[in-house]
Chain A
Amino acid sequence: MLVLIGIAIIIAGFLLRFNPLLVIMASALATGLAAGLDVTAIIAAFGKAFNDTRYVSIVWIVLPVIGLLEAYGLQQHARSLIGRIKGATLARLLASYLLLRQAMSAVGLTSVAGHPQTVRPLVAPMAEAAAEAQGVALSDTQRDEIRAYAAATDNVGLFFGEDIFLAIGSILLMKGLLEGYGYVIEPLHFSVWAIPTAIAAFLIHGFRLRLLEKRMLRAPGQGTGA
């Protein structure tokens, strides 16, 4: 029971808005001590895990390219492109990206798109431009909401597409775990059962994108000129 103290520290730390890095370190130390490890062992275990998971942080290597292109007006160009396409509405644009992201993830191409690679330079400015082309003078709050939806759409597309792919980590985890219990199951059987949820995710999130668009069109922003 005592090892749960780490979870309590995490929840309290996030709620009280302490620096999350400090909260994580405190949680790791408390959890390790509660489990009877000594401080050096905890630091070494944390260090080993940090080194093993470096691939999580390599996505930042795209930033020099994004920075270069943005300095030469990539975001403006993405906006003006959308302004010129007739029928490119906010909801249709994001729903198309959702479908594309789900389809790519379903064939295993999860790292092809993402927040630094595609959402910030392309999807978010295009979504803003689509709303503006529909006659909405965006307030700062509305602009933030559209950007948040662009990021959310990427997440939903990734999460509810990737499990259709046979060789993704989560499928291998399921297979390995159930084999430990004596159930030998082909990866295909797991991935087939991810399809109904993928369809439901597209319908639910797509519907919410329609609601977002309606809300934007109904309540035009004050247009702070930002």
Chain B
Amino acid sequence: MITLGFVYVLAGLTFAIFAALGLGDRSNPKRFGNAAFWGLLALSMLAGDRLGDFGNGLLVLALVAIAGTGQIGRAPGGEVAAAVQAERAAKYGNFLLVVALIIPAVALAGTFLFKWVPGLADPKQATLISLGIGVLIALAVGMARLRPALLLPAQQGRRLLDAVGWAAILPQMLASLGAVFALAGVGEVVGDLIGAAIPQGSLFGAVVAFGLGMALFTMVMGNAFAAFPVMIAAVGMPLLIKQYDGNPAVVAAIGMLAGFCGTLMTPMAANFNLVPAALLELKNPYGVIKVQIGTAIPLLAVNILFIWLFAF
């Protein structure tokens, strides 16, 4: 049976190749830092379960030390000339599109297949496993027809990842910080503070405090999942559900979505907001957040209104 371990091996090998190619790239003055950074990430993917908690902690400290002291960077250039790309685009055309769509198509098909046919792959991780298989199939099909230099996909993939840089592990780092926050009981303290700040005797006031609290606390934590238990304990359960007799399903479901509006507005949700800015090579690292605020604020107001209308 295929498990998530298969995808971790795939990711580990990918990062290991990136590290090796990075080490050999003499045009990059920071090649040693790059090689060490992606090499450590490869080690984490391949052997993380055997390093122990403290060993993994040291690995993270090393990653932070490399990135935090500015030891990773990218070499200039490396992309294929635009004229060559245009010429090849005219030649291969829709074939490129088909290969690009293999990844989502296999992810889609695999998700259903692994749920319907038990025993092939871990059904809980069906989509991520299918994503890995989709990448392998797309790569094989693309290589067979395009016949590029053997290392071209790895070289170009490395170039793209170097453009993202240390931000590539930011989401994982923030998720880990959330675990430390939980251990230290940060959520309970914030919940007490918000609970104490709510105006007494006003249903609408309590709904607004709940919705705004979800969004704001999500912005701080970068994740609505971390904010949700805290806000339910502080406001949702004692006031909205118990005191005002609100419908718990509505309070919970729309409260969570109010939190998602906060996710659109915070750099702490790095994988959604900062990583794509790097990936799309935007000049402003906060460019994605900037355009999302105009959707998030009215939608937050709508969510607060919906809780007030539908739950009571």
User: How many Å lie between the Cα of A52 and that of B57 in the bound state?
Assistant: 12
Q: Write out the residue numbers on chain B whose beta carbons fall within 8 Å of the beta carbon of A10.
A: 177, 220, 268
User: How many Å lie between the Cα of A20 and that of B63 in the bound state?
Assistant: 12
B153 & A21 in contact (Cβ 8 Å cutoff): no
User: How many Å lie between the Cα of A37 and that of B104 in the bound state?
Assistant: 44
Kindly supply a per-residue 1/0 record for chain B positions 22-63, scoring 1 wherever the CB is within 8 Å of any chain A CB and 0 otherwise: 000000000000000000010011001101111111111101
A81 & B57 in contact (Cβ 8 Å cutoff): no
Nearest opposing residue in chain B for A73, CB measure: B89
Kindly supply a per-residue 1/0 record for chain B positions 262-299, scoring 1 wherever the CB is within 8 Å of any chain A CB and 0 otherwise: 01100110111101110110111001101110110011
Kindly supply a per-residue 1/0 record for chain B positions 160-179, scoring 1 wherever the CB is within 8 Å of any chain A CB and 0 otherwise: 11000011111111111111
Kindly supply a per-residue 1/0 record for chain A positions 1-24, scoring 1 wherever the CB is within 8 Å of any chain B CB and 0 otherwise: 101101100110010000111101
Nearest opposing residue in chain A for B41, CB measure: A57
User: How many Å lie between the Cα of A112 and that of B48 in the bound state?
Assistant: 26
29 A-B pairs (CB sep. < 8 Å)? A21-B67, A21-B173, A24-B174, A24-B176, A27-B177, A31-B184, A43-B61, A45-B53, A46-B179, A48-B56, A53-B175, A54-B48, A57-B45, A60-B15, A61-B131, A63-B156, A63-B160, A66-B100, A71-B85, A71-B88, A78-B97, A121-B100, A155-B272, A177-B229, A177-B252, A190-B249, A196-B254, A196-B306, A197-B299
A108 & B111 in contact (Cβ 8 Å cutoff): yes
Task: Tell me if A204 counts as interface (CB < 8 A to partner B).
Answer: yes
B96 & A69 in contact (Cβ 8 Å cutoff): yes
Task: Tell me if A149 counts as interface (CB < 8 A to partner B).
Answer: yes
Which of A85-93, A130-138, A166-174, A216-224 touches B? A166-174
Known contacts: A69-B100, A109-B108, A124-B280. The answer to whether A46 contacts B161 by CB under 8 A is no
A43 & B58 in contact (Cβ 8 Å cutoff): yes
Q: Measured between C-beta atoms, what is the minimum distance from B244 to chain A in Å? A: 15
User: How many Å lie between the Cα of A208 and that of B293 in the bound state?
Assistant: 11
Q: Write out the residue numbers on chain A whose beta carbons fall within 8 Å of the beta carbon of B64.
A: 21-22, 24-25
Task: Tell me if B312 counts as interface (CB < 8 A to partner A).
Answer: no
Task: Tell me if A96 counts as interface (CB < 8 A to partner B).
Answer: no
The binding surface of chain A is classed by DSSP as: helix
Kindly supply a per-residue 1/0 record for chain B positions 181-200, scoring 1 wherever the CB is within 8 Å of any chain A CB and 0 otherwise: 10111100110000000000
For the side of the interface on A, what is the size category? 35 or more
A47 & B54 in contact (Cβ 8 Å cutoff): yes
Q: Measured between C-beta atoms, what is the minimum distance from A27 to chain B in Å? A: 6
User: How many Å lie between the Cα of A81 and that of B90 in the bound state?
Assistant: 11
Task: Tell me if A110 counts as interface (CB < 8 A to partner B).
Answer: yes
Q: Write out the residue numbers on chain B whose beta carbons fall within 8 Å of the beta carbon of A205.
A: 295
A47 & B139 in contact (Cβ 8 Å cutoff): no
Q: Measured between C-beta atoms, what is the minimum distance from A20 to chain B in Å? A: 6
B148 & A65 in contact (Cβ 8 Å cutoff): no
Q: Write out the residue numbers on chain A whose beta carbons fall within 8 Å of the beta carbon of B55.
A: 47
Top 5 A-B residue pairs of the complex, sorted by shortest distance between their CB atoms: A67-B156, A73-B89, A47-B57, A47-B56, A49-B179
Nearest opposing residue in chain B for A65, CB measure: B138
User: How many Å lie between the Cα of A62 and that of B80 in the bound state?
Assistant: 19
B contacts with A, residue count (CB < 8 A):
139
Task: Tell me if A150 counts as interface (CB < 8 A to partner B).
Answer: yes
Nearest opposing residue in chain A for B298, CB measure: A204
Known contacts: A48-B56, A53-B172. The answer to whether A77 contacts B220 by CB under 8 A is no
B139 & A148 in contact (Cβ 8 Å cutoff): no
Known contacts: A3-B185, A10-B220, A64-B157. The answer to whether A72 contacts B92 by CB under 8 A is yes
User: How many Å lie between the Cα of A73 and that of B158 in the bound state?
Assistant: 18
A66 & B68 in contact (Cβ 8 Å cutoff): no
Kindly supply a per-residue 1/0 record for chain B positions 238-273, scoring 1 wherever the CB is within 8 Å of any chain A CB and 0 otherwise: 000100000011101110110010011001101111
Of B70, B253, B306, the contact of A163 (CB 8 Å cutoff): B253
Q: Measured between C-beta atoms, what is the minimum distance from B255 to chain A in Å? A: 9
Q: Write out the residue numbers on chain B whose beta carbons fall within 8 Å of the beta carbon of A40.
A: 54
Q: Write out the residue numbers on chain A whose beta carbons fall within 8 Å of the beta carbon of B97.
A: 74, 77-78, 81, 122
A47 & B60 in contact (Cβ 8 Å cutoff): yes
Task: Tell me if B310 counts as interface (CB < 8 A to partner A).
Answer: yes
B275 & A208 in contact (Cβ 8 Å cutoff): no
Task: Tell me if A142 counts as interface (CB < 8 A to partner B).
Answer: no
User: How many Å lie between the Cα of A148 and that of B56 in the bound state?
Assistant: 35
B280 & A148 in contact (Cβ 8 Å cutoff): yes
Of B154, B220, B228, B264, the contact of A155 (CB 8 Å cutoff): B264
Quick one: which of B135, B154, B249, B303 has the most chain A CB within 10 A?
Answer: B249
Q: Measured between C-beta atoms, what is the minimum distance from B52 to chain A in Å? A: 8
Q: Write out the residue numbers on chain B whose beta carbons fall within 8 Å of the beta carbon of A120.
A: 276, 279-280
Known contacts: A6-B181, A144-B287, A178-B252. The answer to whether A44 contacts B53 by CB under 8 A is yes
- Apart from A61-B14, A112-B127, A140-B283, list 14 A-B contacts with CB within 8 A: A27-B177, A43-B61, A48-B57, A50-B57, A54-B44, A64-B157, A67-B155, A68-B143, A68-B152, A73-B92, A177-B232, A178-B232, A196-B306, A201-B295
User: How many Å lie between the Cα of A129 and that of B87 in the bound state?
Assistant: 18
B228 & A174 in contact (Cβ 8 Å cutoff): yes
